[in-house]
Structure 1
């Protein structure tokens, strides 16, 4: 397993299934797992998890994202959060770029089939089959979870973050962003 530290975020990448070794004919899979604590964009120590709305995504609340799949096959992305506003329904989507100090830095939603017209509003492209939607509601303790499974995987370098939105569904105000080193990488 390859592991590294990313400003308070632990990342694990590329694991072989069943202990297989490259070239031995075993089925190989990958797993990316990262977690972090939200901090405002102006925090003294930068974080890959940025909150733009501290009422709904308080500083020091936690996020974890896991992606696993098989190269050339399907993938699953799972989101977990703790410490958010209890009893709130959040939208969440994978976006194209890493987070930045401004909510728009993460770019548009990642789309498996890219809409030629941007910004994308066409329901043929903006839907949970063509994008990775991870909408969730928090319980009384502020924790929540969501998973999305697709028969496709990200293009290399095409996905860079998970953005939490004010509303579930297609979009809404951006409340927070978490930079994720999704596989495959460029």
Structure 2
């Protein structure tokens, strides 16, 4: 029978739950293909050109989650609202599903402010500079449910040219 751990070592066994876990995705936006979808898809190459870059970092620690999105080579002087979505990116922008909600609204699409708000959804706005580079980050006091969140979707935002403000212009598959 193995000897029990000394009492001084027991706190070390709890250490992994206190150490942050980070997932990083670095890739380029590409066309949505039907055979093997890329990690990052552009649905509007005028705003998010093929070959533009994206980096997504997701950090989890003790019931909290933070997300950072960095982009370069995209439309200059633009605001891209971004949200975590329940589905994966696909050839059709709608396959990414609705916004992920910590407490899911039973009515979808969710417009009820009791569910569709900054405390219950991961919301970011990437604002780009004159070179088309931008960064945004957000944090929430909860963790994503296993398999419940699968992508970050960038919406058209402002200025809205040929795209409406709710149009999905790009998507990045992320393992949350």
Instruction: Give the TM-score band, short-chain normalised.
Output: 0.7 to 0.9
Name structure 1 gaps, 5 residues minimum.
1-21
Aligned counterpart, 1:68: 59
Whole-Å separation in 1 of the counterparts to 2:152 and 2:142: 18
CA RMSD, 1 decimal:
1.9
* SS class of match (2:170): strand
Per-residue deviation, residues 59-103 of structure 1 (Å, max 9, x unmatched): 0001111111214x2111111111100001111100011101000
Cα separation, partners in 2 of 1:128 and 1:101, compared to 1, 3 Å: same
Q: What SS does the aligned partner of 2:30 have?
A: coil
* Whole-angstrom distance in 1 between the partners of 2:150 and 2:38: 15
Corresponding residue of 1:28: 19
Distance 2:129 2:76 in 1: 6
TM-score (ref. length: structure 2): 0.84
Bigger radius of gyration, 1 or 2?
2
Per-residue CA distance 1:8-47 (angstroms, 9 max, x = gap): xxxxxxxxxxxxxx96232232111111100111398741
Deviation at 1:167, TM superposition (A): 2.1
Distance 1:156 1:23, change over 3 A: farther
Aligned equivalents of 1:155 and 1:45: distance in 2?
A: 26
Contact 2:37/2:91 (<8 A) preserved: no
1:160 maps to what in 2? 150
Q: Compare the two structures and name the one with the higher helix fraction.
A: 2
Unmatched tracts of structure 2, length 5 or more: 1-10, 159-164
Q: 1:105 aligns with which of 95, 100, 112?
A: 95
Q: 2:138 aligns with which of 131, 148, 153?
A: 148
The residue number in structure 2 matching 1:174 is 168
TM-score, normalised via structure 1 length: 0.79
Cα distance change of structure 1 residues 157 and 23 upon mapping to structure 2, 3 Å threshold:
farther
